[in-house]
Chain A
């Protein structure tokens, strides 16, 4: 099987704060990591390769520093990794990102399965996977928590919906997004880390992929961020003091007043 795993580099914490004086994100001391949901995607790709043979290629669109993350994917079992990087890609929204990733997949030729994490922890949009699937004309299944079977150009998966599980049969090539229930990602191996240190990560540019400059980066983005701000909470709790017994009685009184208990 030829498998592509799409990954994003995200800040290592979602505890990002806005500096109230300058109204900008405080990024000091925050390390970049593999988007946690994407590490499940990578692990699933590597497991499928171990079972069915073939190749896992990790791809990411991002600045040059994302090379480090892609090297890490090699230590975790990816065979190859490619960075899609170009000044023209900057400022991409999900549509332009999906277009660029789809371009990379097309350039790779025959791909059976593309695996993405359910969503990123910084953007939380969960849109790139389905948008890319549509652009590639591939089957798409979101929230996959188990791959039950792959054979004869078909795959059967279990996925988590709001009300329960669905068993979905789809054709290959397919794009899936996976949830964290699907596996427990492995730790890197020492031999993997050593291999990854010397791994060459090719960088593909706009030109390399033959993409339309009007469809990538900010030019290709239909959405614009016009403002960022910290959510405000101005309510202040009425504190109920005293020994636990008194607190409980007092609380129940208040809830009853409001018809809540």
Chain B
């Protein structure tokens, strides 16, 4: 597997050198040399005007056609199914329609409430493994159990929420069943002809989007951030079956056990569930000034958010951070105060329905995605806004 450059066709025009996203091609004396940064992405092949570059790909074993069905890992916490799982069921329906296959939800827990909602939100089948051993999501058990089911039932696609739990144990499943996994997808589409899942995700802190496929392995696995997709309205008329499977912990080594859980109560309104978020950025200047932002949030009954700089500076705890390395949110209203709008931040909030940007710099990128833009001094505008809201 390698990039081949035909010296007879190559004119040393160096277009490929400039095209390579990874700086892997160099012009050395009278030839183009490929260094070890090459990821065989093929960009140079497309760019070469002389068709001198070929990408020789060894054929992998064809994908077996016995893999069928789109699975969603239905994550529960304290017996309640997480919203992200319902969002994924909506997307799974769409993918399954293209592939003409079924949607299955896989749920591990104990006494999980309202499993019917998995069906009304899109599942044709629900695989339920119910055991007291599974109630607190022990990852060793989840890894083993999900891997076993995948090996037994051979789904074509497996989706899971990119929650702390999902991001922690789904990669272990991928390692165990030897298949590709794409993290934090923001877009999922199907190439129906090749039955390939086109997985689009942000990379380089959200500055670049990459579309990724798994050409040779099944299932195709992906994790998706909460609130990336919208869930369907429940359809009470949908039919589906709940299949109960036994949990057999023999043969599973439990390396870890949960001793204690301490709920984080520092946030009054949880960011990722909030309908309204008021967030501050570097422009807020210092810890004390966040009081202004917090007052506006209180007046709106909103959650308090932050871009990365205030968290890095220690003005606010990490739990308030919105963006690529923080939380992804999709509120009805997002008010960004003194946030310039670095792509990393936008990645976490741009799906908000209405975005208000308050910034002193009229060329701040936040205005490119905002619904309403106010150029001005946040220290004047924000307190006025709070005042007017309180007066009503």
Are A and B in contact, CB atoms below 8 Å, in the complex? yes
* Size of interface on B: residues with Cβ below 8 Å to A: 105
B212 interfacial by beta-carbon distance below 8 Å: yes
List, in ascending order, chain B residues with CB within 8 A of A15's CB: 205, 207, 342
Cβ B368 vs Cβ A24 within 8 A = no
Known: A223-B182, A225-B39, A230-B209. A138 touches B255 (CB 8 A): yes
Mask for A104-142, Cβ within 8 A of B = 1, else 0? 000000000000000001111111111111110111111
Mask for B70-88, Cβ within 8 A of A = 1, else 0? 0000000100000000000
List, in ascending order, chain B residues with CB within 8 A of A162's CB: 163-165, 272
List, in ascending order, chain B residues with CB within 8 A of A14's CB: 204-207, 324, 344
From A38-46, A72-80, A164-172, A185-193, give the one contacting chain B: A164-172
A27 interfacial by beta-carbon distance below 8 Å: yes
Return the chain B residue nearest A217 by Cβ: B1
Cβ B215 vs Cβ A224 within 8 A = yes
Known: A131-B172, A230-B207. A141 touches B256 (CB 8 A): yes
**Which among A89, A160, A237, A254 is the interface contact of B368 at CB below 8 angstroms?**
A237
A194 interfacial by beta-carbon distance below 8 Å: no
Return the chain B residue nearest A14 by Cβ: B205
CB of A89, distance to nearest CB on chain B (Å) = 8
Cα–Cα distance between A230 and B209 once the two chains are bound (Å): 6
Cβ A225 vs Cβ B211 within 8 A = yes
Known: A24-B18, A131-B172, A231-B202. A218 touches B264 (CB 8 A): no
From B4-12, B114-122, B381-389, give the one contacting chain A: B381-389
Binding site secondary structure of chain B: mixed
Cβ A240 vs Cβ B373 within 8 A = yes
CB of B132, distance to nearest CB on chain A (Å) = 18
Cα–Cα distance between A129 and B171 once the two chains are bound (Å): 9
Cα–Cα distance between A186 and B39 once the two chains are bound (Å): 34
Cβ B43 vs Cβ A24 within 8 A = yes
B346 interfacial by beta-carbon distance below 8 Å: yes
Cβ A218 vs Cβ B372 within 8 A = no
CB of B5, distance to nearest CB on chain A (Å) = 16
Mask for B127-163, Cβ within 8 A of A = 1, else 0? 0000000000001100100000000000000000001
Known: A91-B40, A252-B385. A27 touches B172 (CB 8 A): no
**Which among B38, B262, B347, B367 is the interface contact of A165 at CB below 8 angstroms?**
B262
Q: Which of B170-225 contact A (CB under 8 A)?
A: 170-172, 174-176, 178-184, 198, 202-217
Cβ B143 vs Cβ A134 within 8 A = yes
**Which among B183, B209, B257, B372 is the interface contact of A170 at CB below 8 angstroms?**
B257
A183 interfacial by beta-carbon distance below 8 Å: no
B350 interfacial by beta-carbon distance below 8 Å: yes
CB of A8, distance to nearest CB on chain B (Å) = 13
Cα–Cα distance between A249 and B216 once the two chains are bound (Å): 58
Binding site secondary structure of chain A: mixed
Cβ B183 vs Cβ A27 within 8 A = no
CB of A74, distance to nearest CB on chain B (Å) = 23
Cβ B208 vs Cβ A25 within 8 A = yes
Cβ A228 vs Cβ B388 within 8 A = no
Counting chain A CB atoms within 10 Å of each CB, the highest count among B21, B39, B171 belongs to: B171
* Size of interface on A: residues with Cβ below 8 Å to B: 93
Q: Which of B35-68 contact A (CB under 8 A)?
A: 35-41, 43, 47, 58
CB of B97, distance to nearest CB on chain A (Å) = 23
Cβ B168 vs Cβ A134 within 8 A = no
Cβ B181 vs Cβ A90 within 8 A = no
Known: A131-B175, A165-B261, A169-B256. A223 touches B333 (CB 8 A): no
A152 interfacial by beta-carbon distance below 8 Å: no
Cβ A160 vs Cβ B354 within 8 A = no
CB of A237, distance to nearest CB on chain B (Å) = 4
B263 interfacial by beta-carbon distance below 8 Å: yes
Cβ A95 vs Cβ B172 within 8 A = no
Cβ A247 vs Cβ B257 within 8 A = no
A31 interfacial by beta-carbon distance below 8 Å: no
**Which among A224, A238, A239, A261 is the interface contact of B300 at CB below 8 angstroms?**
A261
Cβ B258 vs Cβ A27 within 8 A = no
B23 interfacial by beta-carbon distance below 8 Å: yes
A6 interfacial by beta-carbon distance below 8 Å: no
Cα–Cα distance between A225 and B367 once the two chains are bound (Å): 31
List, in ascending order, chain B residues with CB within 8 A of A87's CB: 36
**Which among B18, B164, B344, B370 is the interface contact of A161 at CB below 8 angstroms?**
B164
**Which among A95, A174, A241, A251 is the interface contact of B255 at CB below 8 angstroms?**
A174
Could you write out 24 A-B pairs with CB less than 8 Å apart? Answer: A16-B207, A24-B43, A25-B21, A25-B208, A63-B35, A90-B37, A125-B184, A134-B175, A139-B140, A140-B139, A162-B163, A162-B272, A163-B77, A181-B318, A218-B39, A223-B213, A224-B214, A225-B211, A237-B357, A237-B367, A237-B368, A251-B356, A255-B333, A261-B300
